[in-house]
Amino acid sequence: MDIIKALEVCGGAARRPMLGRLGIDDASLRRAVRSGVLLQPDRGLYAVPWAPADLVDRLRNRELLTCASAAPHYRLWALPSSGAPHVYHRRAESVSSGGVHHAGLLLPADPHRPVAALADVLIHALRCLPLAASLVMVECAVSRGDITVDFLRQRLPGKRNGAAREVLRWVDRGADSLLETLARTYFRQAGIRVEAQAYLQRVGYVDLLLEGWLVVELDGRHHSDWEQVKKDHRRNNESIFQGYTALRYYYADVVYSPTEMVGQVLSVLARRR
C-alpha cells in the first residue's frame, strides 16, 4: 500500500507498528521523511502535513479515545458532552491535561486508529456517564447487532458495577433515534405503559404509543421542509380522527427538558383517566 494511503486509513498519523501492519517498511518511511512527504513529530510516529493536531497529540502520548469521545468513531448515538476528551492510558498520571482517564481494557484497540475497542468504549461509558448518555450509546450498538446486553452485563460484575447494570435494564430494540430511546425510557420510569413503533391503521408507524391511546411523535430535525410538515400534520389529524390523542416533542424537549415533557404527558393521561 502507498504510504499516503496507509496514513489516510489511519486518519493522517500513525506509529510505526501500525503502518507495518499495512505493509509499510522502515526504509520507505525514512525516505518519505527525508523527502518532506511525511513529518516525524516523535520517535516512531509519522504524519502527513495536514494530520489533525489532536490525533498527533493522542499518538504521541500513547492514549486511546474511549467512552463518549469514541462515539463518533463507532457512529454511535451520543448526547452533547463537555468537550473534555475521555481517554485510556496505562498510567493515569500520564493523561493529557484536562482529559478524563479510564482504566482497564478487555480487547485489543482499533487496528488503525488510537481508539479503544467498542466493548471497552461501552463499558467505560456505562461506568462513567449519566444514565441517558450511556444508554443511547449502548442501545445504538445493541440495535445494530454490534454487541449484546448479556455480553456487557457479564463483564460488569459486583456491587461497584451496580449502576452500570441498572442502565442495561432499560436497553431495548427498535428505536430509530436517540430521542425515541430517551423518551421511551423517561416515560417508562414514570410508570407509563409504552409501545414503541406502534402501527396504526391509515396512520402508519408512530414513534411511541402510551397507554394504548396517547401518540407521541418525536422530531429531531432542525429544519423541516414543508411537504414533510404537511405529511406529519395529516398523520396527526388521522390519529385524532380515530380517537387517539397526539403530542409532538422536539430534540430540545427530550434532551434538555425531559421533566417538563413527562409532566405534560402525565397531565394528559390523568385527564383521560
User: In this structure, is residue 173 part of a structural domain?
Assistant: no
The last residue of a domain, from among 141, 168, 195: 168
| 38 and 103 assigned to the same domain | no
> What is the pLDDT at residue 36?
93
> What is the pLDDT at residue 273?
62
| 147 and 187 assigned to the same domain | no
> What is the pLDDT at residue 201?
81
Task: Give the residue ranges of DSSP H helices in the chain.
Answer: 3-9, 16-21, 26-34, 53-60, 118-128, 131-144, 149-154, 162-168, 178-189, 226-241, 251-256, 258-272
| 158 and 69 assigned to the same domain | yes
Expressed as residue numbers, the domain containing 109 is 64-168
| 46 and 104 assigned to the same domain | no
C-alpha cell at 118: 467498542
- What span, in angstroms and rounded, lies between the C-alpha atoms of 135 and 130? 8
Closest CA to 144 of 195, 77, 67: 77
**Residue pLDDT tens, the chain, 273 long:** 789 999 999 999 999 999 999 999 999 999 999 999 999 999 999 999 999 999 999 999 999 999 999 999 999 999 998 778 999 998 887 788 788 999 999 999 999 999 999 999 999 999 999 999 999 999 999 999 999 999 999 999 999 999 999 999 999 988 889 999 999 999 999 999 999 988 888 777 899 999 999 999 998 765 457 566 666 667 776 666 556 788 999 999 999 999 999 999 999 999 876
> What is the pLDDT at residue 199?
83
| 159 and 182 assigned to the same domain | no
Q: Name beta bridge partners: 218.
A: 249
- What span, in angstroms and rounded, lies between the C-alpha atoms of 217 and 63? 41
